[in-house]
Structure 1
């Protein structure tokens, strides 16, 4: 716990926020019952750990997931110790922190997966306690009701949390139908629904746009795409750490052979907790492009089963030490530390180009640019804007525009907001996401006003092509150069957008926007 948390705290101090992280900052800046693409929990986490935005810094933005991942390390140890033994619990905590998804993606980055994994693990702890209950007593009923609360909070973090209930109900139907006759199961379901009611209300008020958006992302398409499937599976291996996956393989073979190294009811709960989520989104990848972290929580049970398997195997061959870990358990952690050190070097210090080297598109497709250079762009923007306004070429406190949620959220967090300027996005609902609502909260673009446009070369869009119909004229101001390792990594081009014409139609007429998107 100390080692892994120290590493995450160091990373939080060294690395700027990524695309998703700065976007979810807007959930805390403009809280709501729900949001365009996700439930509201991640915004509440940010508000809590930044003291309602008082500590608006990369470090404190990430403090929530870092605290959660430390707690999760303890929880998974306690849970596996309870259902197996202490050594298996220790193995589980090590494999958990060796996983890229659990240790970094959900354990370091401030994204919806951070609270999702915490509440998933808390729900799983209660499932192990109560679902196999031979006698449903007062204590079991209270735990079932608490389970409904944790499951509801998981779904309020990310919609994949619904699979917690899927796994629980499958176990009840297959192994312990007594619960179907007990009122506490239905109270638990009601509590989950009450927790989710603000999300349902928000979507009702907004034409269920969230479900339309996500439905389009996973709706089956004609033709099987093996390339999508291959990319999804390779992504899952990378997100779980390839060396972790090697540790999982013998466990999978043992399960297939029906070897006995854990109680049957524990095996049923764990498999049904993870398998439905994994099958669903891996199945979608046969037809649609998916993202590997969508299946991330399904590997919690895999880690736990693997820890119990290896604890059993090492006991058989006489490995008993709780301090000296077997190499196959520790190697994934060593590999993770090396990868993280390399990532910090490549992102913050390396002179290497991984994208285009071009006078306009410098850095495009370079994955290291997402978490580097934005603070420098923000500082330079404020200096240039101050000079512009002192010369009278731009009005005081002019706002900023962009064209999409990324890089728009980065420019908002690092450039516009610190300078007390509003950033607005002009584009379709699928391009600007929550900024369709933020635009209105900030008073919308005002006819006749002038605005700045900042165009990072790694996400460059020519303002004359995308904004010429919205402004009287467009004038170049300056070029910001971002260096790393004494090499220019990318540029940020600044423009004056003069005389807004007042003709951007907000996409918040959601039915129209949804229909237009479907037709296109």
Structure 2
């Protein structure tokens, strides 16, 4: 092996180590966000699938928390950190396959500098955390196939397994098969005659059986809900949604990296890109552009989330890495472009951590009742403190006989109910229950966290953060005989008021009122 190539192999491990160490610090120090605590509830009841997503995110949390016994943010997120570390090596190895070890090293550093892959999927525990690993493993298998004239059966079977697992993590993993099918249809039609293509497809389908079983049992509620989120029926053109999507993608994938991705795509379509083989380019485009194009099209009519297209843009990092390696081939050091991208990401991480943990006050509304509304950073701030404050209040209520023992905690939405279950109910051992519409409760509408539900005469607490304020009397007044004036707990950040928590005591549940409504 060439000495320089060997040095690149050795360099990838310090990159993975340093990045993983940063991920561990963030995973330990930041409270869980809305989605993360919600996915933690999946781990409380391992199932074939769940209301919002396929099951792997719940299974992963269940494993990393030792069956939810390890109750700390780091353990909840440990699966994401581990998947990210493994994926970085897979990215390196894939870059080595398409060009050389230096391309692989550059691709791995770009992956670490991409906010979506490194932080959104690499620190926070989301369905993307496992999907991005399986996506890259599938992509590597397909690129290996592309470099063979007929394709190897083993690589195809691996592709089928990894794609199935990617889809079992998040449903749009199926776009890998769409990309593979498009590639074969356009450029390798003779491979359709090979038996292993169909066996690979069968493996993917077998992996997806848990999703099918659960949805049959629940009348395909997942797809009924998500189809509404992307449906274009009766939608009007919204250029502001499209612009928001573009800006979101640019931020999530690092402005420097995002610009280079589109520079490389323009060069490809102008037939001026020569940094890797035609077969490699074809595979990457087939596996990336359909998902990107569909989501950009939907964003013209509906508001969508920028990270939905994350795996597609992540795949295109290979084009950038190969192009930078070709452009700076005579330099032994990492290109300045990569350093700039890394610097921007580190700056965003530090700024984000400071805003979440120490920004004075709130970025949101200063309305008396909705204080902090619109400030998404509050989703990851202050829940440990409010949990301790509520525990003291609950214990005092028990001593004074103000509330029944084991009074419920209720809410009309999955957030903030999931936060309240993780940071409050876990310690007070109170039962929780969602009361409201399916679209508001999601998994809480079809799953009960404990065997006993609210019964005649039960008391309950309703904890309302001001950034998600609701009129408790309007939602629950008909269900309880009496609702006390709320206790108001003020929460400060950086020495200034950030939000309020309104703690309502609700007395004597009346189930017949729920039946009537």
CA contact (8 A) 2:131 2:167 kept: yes
Per-residue CA distance 1:130-189 (angstroms, 9 max, x = gap): 2453245xxx21221121111111001001100011001111111112321121111111
Tell me the CA shift for residue 503 of structure 1.
4.2
Are 1:394 and 2:409 matched, yes or no?
Answer: no
| Runs of 4 or more consecutive aligned structure 1 residues displaced over 6 Å after TM superposition | none
CA RMSD of aligned residues (A): 1.6
Q: TM-score, normalised by structure 2?
A: 0.94
- Tell me, what secondary structure is at the counterpart of 2:462? strand
Distance 2:150 2:230 in 1: 41
CA contact (8 A) 1:151 1:165 kept: yes
2:314 to 268, 289, 300: 300
Are 1:116 and 2:131 matched, yes or no?
Answer: yes
- Where does residue 127 of structure 1 map in the other structure? 142
- Where does residue 509 of structure 1 map in the other structure? none
Tell me the CA shift for residue 462 of structure 1.
2.0
Per-residue CA distance 1:230-263 (angstroms, 9 max, x = gap): 1111111111111212333432332132122211
Are 1:267 and 2:276 matched, yes or no?
Answer: no
- Where does residue 142 of structure 1 map in the other structure? 154
Distance 1:63 1:285 in 2: 33
Structure 2: 5+ residue runs without aligned partners? 1-15
Are 1:423 and 2:435 matched, yes or no?
Answer: no
Are 1:493 and 2:508 matched, yes or no?
Answer: no
Per-residue CA distance 1:36-85 (angstroms, 9 max, x = gap): 11101100110111111121211111111111111111110111011101
- Where does residue 252 of structure 2 map in the other structure? 239
Distance 2:27 2:236 in 1: 43
Tell me the CA shift for residue 477 of structure 1.
4.9
Distance 2:480 2:146 in 1: 62
Are 1:24 and 2:50 matched, yes or no?
Answer: no
Q: TM-score, normalised by structure 1?
A: 0.93
Structure 1: 5+ residue runs without aligned partners? 507-520
Distance 2:230 2:377 in 1: 28
- Where does residue 80 of structure 2 map in the other structure? 65
Paired residues for 1:203-242 under 5 Å: 203-221=215-233, 222-242=235-255
Distance 2:160 2:513 in 1: 44
Tell me the CA shift for residue 345 of structure 1.
1.1
1:377 to 365, 379, 386: 386
Are 1:100 and 2:92 matched, yes or no?
Answer: no
Tell me the CA shift for residue 488 of structure 1.
2.0
- Tell me, what secondary structure is at the counterpart of 2:458? coil
Paired residues for 1:338-377 under 5 Å: 338-377=347-386
Distance 2:313 2:451 in 1: 41
Per-residue CA distance 1:443-469 (angstroms, 9 max, x = gap): 322222111111111111121121111
Tell me the CA shift for residue 393 of structure 1.
1.0
Tell me the CA shift for residue 403 of structure 1.
1.4
- Where does residue 53 of structure 2 map in the other structure? 38
CA contact (8 A) 1:22 1:413 kept: yes
